[in-house]
Each structure stands twice: as structure tokens, then as C-alpha cells.
Amino acid sequence: MSAALLGCKGVTCRFGGLVALARVDFEVNDGEIVGLIGPNGSGKTTLFNVITGIYGADEGAVTVGGTDMTAATPQAIYRAGVTRTFQRSRMCLPLSVFDNIMVGNHKRLNHGLVFNLLRRGAFAAELVRNREEAHELVKVFSRELAGRIEEPAAGLPMIDRRRIEICRALISRPRLVLLDEPSAGMTHEETRHLMDDILSVRERLPGLTIVIIEHEMGVIERVTDRCVVLNYGRKIKEGTFAEVAGDRQVQEAYLGVA
């Protein structure tokens, strides 16, 4: 039997006396789109931070493709094929759009001193290859944006910055992408566009697995195969959107009914 692509077993994370995550079990299989939902402060982003190695888990284990990655650094997680976006945009604004995407391609670029400083012909060839690849990827999101990849990232509107951040997460051909509230700060219309983009990217990259944190239930209903609900750091429900939305406990968590 093949192991789940991502496995969290009894993951616990404390900040001093605050228990941000309490024995969370969470599995993601190849090719799924899983929604991670829950009220503010329920531990969704913390779970992403533990998975990507920014925080260490106090208890429990994280596996990627069956290999234990609990104590792995963010760099090792990236090399294992897990990338992410951030809730608050983390772009390098003074750099060009292309540069920003290339930051995400770190493991596929040659960083040797000799290659970069002396073998400029070979470098130029690698550059052209990557520029085409980035162009193709951005084109899936927006043709117009693809024509602007040599411009400064600071000049892009919010929705395009999100798109570029997602491209940065996708360019290295990861197995699993963690999207932390991609629609934050966008209008309904923009959110709808972005979700169309994400679905069409998935068609183009079969086998891509996505975990998405989202507050817009319409989005969750539309794109996810399965949902996991967190509340106060505990997993309170797991299932399809319909199952989750109909659950009394989940409704209480969101509406605050005692």
C-alpha cells in the first residue's frame, strides 16, 4: 500500500502556555485538493508552518511520501517537493516578476560559482530555458500578465501578485502545494478568477496535490475534494464539503453557538 503524500500524526505545537495545535491527524493523498478550514486562530497557518519546517512540532510526526520529515528544515521540505504561498504576500517587490518566480525554482537552477561567473554562454542558455518556462506557466493564469514578467513586481495589482506567488510555488514542479488563503484581500470576482486559474493549472499539471486554506465557503465547495476543519487547534471534522457544512459542531465553531 502506498503511503499518503503528506501525513501528520498527533501533531502538537505550543507557544508557551498556548496550545496552537493539539494532536492533529491530517492526511493528504496524491492528486487530491483538500480544504483546511476553521475560524480565525484555529491553527490552520500554524499547521502549514509546522509542515514546512518553520516551526518545530512539539509532539507527533510529519511525513512526506512516507519519509519522516518532522525535524526537517524548510529547505529540506522544499527539496522533498512541498511548496507554499503565504497568507500575507511575501514577494520580493523591488525585483522583477521573473526574478520572483525564479526564487521558487532554486533547486533546479545551477548555483555553482564557476557556472555563474565564468560559463556565461551556458548560463544564458539556462536563462532562456527558464524564461520560456516561466512565461508558459504565467500564461495559464493570464496572457496579459505573461507579457509583463520583466517588469518590477511592485507594479502589479494584488490579484497578479497572488498569481505570481502561486507561479513561484509551482515552477519547481512540486508534488504538493500549500496555499494559505490565496483570496485574502480580493473581491469576489477576483477570487472567482483565481480559482478558475488554480483549477486550470491542475488540469495542466496532472497529479498536482493542493491543500488550500480559505474562508470563502463558496471557493471551498467548488474546488475541494475533501475538507478538514480545525477549531482551537483541534481537528473537529473531516469529510466532503457537504458533510462538513452540515455538521453541528462545525456550525457552532463558525457561528459561535454555545
Partner 1 sequence: MTAAPNTLSPLAALAWAAAATLYSVLFLGAESERALGTLLVIAAAGVVLGARFGLVDRIRASIGGNERAFDIAAIAGVLVVGLWFHEEHFIILMMTTALLLMVAALGLTIQFGYAGVVNFAGAAFLGIGCYTAGVVTKYTALPSFLTLPLGGLMAAIIGSILILPVLRTRGHYAALVTIAFGILFKVFLEVNDTLGGPQGIQVKPIVLFGWNFNSPIRIGDFTASFYFSYLLLALLLLVLSFALVRRLERSWIGLSLDAIRLDEIASACYGLNLARWKVLAFTLGNFLAGTAGAAYAHVLGFIAPNNFTFGDSLILVSIILLGGLGNLWGVAVAAAFVVILPEKFQVIQEYRLVLYAALVILILLFRPEGLLPRQLRDYVPGAKPQRGRSHAEERVR
State the residues that interact with partner 1 by CB under 8 A: 52, 54, 73-75, 77-79, 83-84, 86, 90-96, 99, 102-104, 106-107, 109-111, 113, 116-117, 120, 123-124, 127-128, 150-152, 154-155, 168, 172
**Nine cell digits for residue 116:** 555563474
Nearer to partner 1, 142 or 172 (CB): 172
* In the complex, minimum distance from the CB of residue 22 to partner 1, in angstroms, rounded to a whole number: 25
- Give the nearer residue to partner 1 in terms of CB position, either 185 or 239: 185
Question: Considering the complex, what minimum distance in angstroms separates the CB of residue 72 from partner 1?
Answer: 12
Compute the CA torsion angle 233, 180, 59, 40 (nearest 10 deg). -20
Q: How far is the CB of 255 from partner 1 (least distance, A)?
A: 34
* Comparison of 92 and 242: residue with beta carbon closer to partner 1: 92
Q: Which is nearer to partner 1, 177 or 253 (CB)?
A: 177
C-alpha separations of 27 from 4, 6, 49, 112 in Å: 6, 6, 16, 37
Measured from the CB of residue 191, what is the shortest distance to partner 1 in angstroms?
A: 23
* H or E element, residue 101: helix 97-103
- Nearer Cβ to partner 1 (19/95): 95
Question: What is the amino acid identity at position 76?
Answer: A
Q: In residues, how long is the chain?
A: 258
Cα 26 to Cα 60: distance, rounded to the nearest angstrom: 11
CA dihedral 129, 130, 136, 139 (to 10 degrees): -140
Nearer residue to partner 1 within complex by CB, 79 or 188: 79
User: For residues 99 and 153, what is the distance between their CA atoms, to the nearest angstrom?
Assistant: 9
- CB distance 178 to 52 below 8 Å: yes
The least distance separating partner 1 from the CB of residue 256, rounded to whole angstroms, comes to 32
Contact, 156 vs 97, CB < 8 A?
A: yes
Which is it for strands 226-231 and 59-64: parallel, antiparallel or unpaired?
unpaired
Angle between helices 120-141 and 188-204 (to 10 degrees): 120
**Closest CB to partner 1 among residues 124, 158:** 124
- Nearest distance from C-beta of residue 78 to partner 1, angstroms: 4
**CB of 127: closest distance to partner 1 in angstroms?**
5
Q: Which helix (H) or strand (E) holds 27?
A: strand 18-28
